[in-house]
Amino acid sequence: MSRIKGAAAGDLFGPASEAAAGIAAICRGATVLRRFVEPDAAALLAAVAGVERLAPFRHMVTPGGFRMSVAMTNCGEVGWVTDRQGYRYQATDPEAAQAWPAMPDILRGFAERAALWAGFEGYTPDSCLINRYERPARLSLHQDRNERDMRQPIVSVSLGQPAVFLFGGETRSDRPRRIPLQHGDVVVWGGPARLAFHGVDAPAAGAHPLTGASRINLTFRKAL
């Protein structure tokens, strides 16, 4: 099977360093690109630091009143937020009462190329949620359903400390599979997997040379 509709197997779509990344199916609609961003991880993290200066990480509150253990910020036209009123995308950072920082080109470029490698043509993310996990922070099972067009995939980049991704089915009670994610791995998630329940365990103990004890995750969405 070719990666891109209309392309012959073996056709190359990215620089040689990306072609070297291992590609594996998690299930129909979900693909992991192993170490896809690793050569450029320091540049991606520098871009994240630039976003953080304008829109610091914060612990948001769920509609049920619980403080999330994962610290979050956003860049792009809109950002994902939660508070007592609910989950939604909005154009302004509620802490700063101003627009979210623009999505750095280096982030957008990797998201678009990863989507293409996974077989999704014409993907143009307008939002990037940046998650920071420090033990014991974790994300419990959920579906991503605040985006308008469920035909658009999500691209998820893992940096720093490894963590186990929990990947279930379309109902909360489906027993999730456990997928270890390493620094530089990218998961592209769409099509028949788009509404799968998923979560993330706390990152491994220890420290990564680029992020210390943290795991940083970037999830790109076409939200609007």
Distance from C-alpha of 96 to C-alpha of 101, rounded to nearest angstrom: 11
- The item of Fe ion, ligand MD6, none sharing an interface with residue 214, based on CB under 5 to 8 Å by kind, is none
> Phi/psi class of residue 112: alpha, beta or left (left: φ > 0; alpha: ψ in -120 to 50)?
alpha
Helices (H), the chain: 16-19, 41-54, 105-117
Q: Would you state the structure tokens that stand for residue 196, as one six-digit string?
A: 């799968």
Non-local CB neighbours of 74 within 8 Å, separated by 6+ positions: 51, 55, 80, 81, 93, 100, 127, 128, 129, 130
Q: To 10 degrees, the CA torsion angle through 156, 67, 137, 188? A: -10
Restricting to residues 125-164, name those near ligand MD6 by CB under 6 A.
131, 139, 144, 154, 156
Any contact of residue 186 with ligand MD6 (CB under 6 A)? no
- The item of ligand MD6, Fe ion, none sharing an interface with residue 131, based on CB under 5 to 8 Å by kind, is ligand MD6
Any contact of residue 219 with ligand MD6 (CB under 6 A)? yes
Task: Using CB under 6 A, pick the residue from 187, 203, 211, 220 that binds ligand MD6.
Answer: 187
Restricting to residues 51-90, name those near ligand MD6 by CB under 6 A.
none
Restricting to residues 130-189, name those near Fe ion by CB under 5 A.
144
* Per-residue mark of binding to ligand MD6, 11-50 (x: CB under 6 A): ----------------------------------------
Kindly list the residues in this chain that would bind ligand MD6 in the complex (CB under 6 A): 131, 139, 144, 154, 156, 165, 187, 189, 198, 200, 217, 219
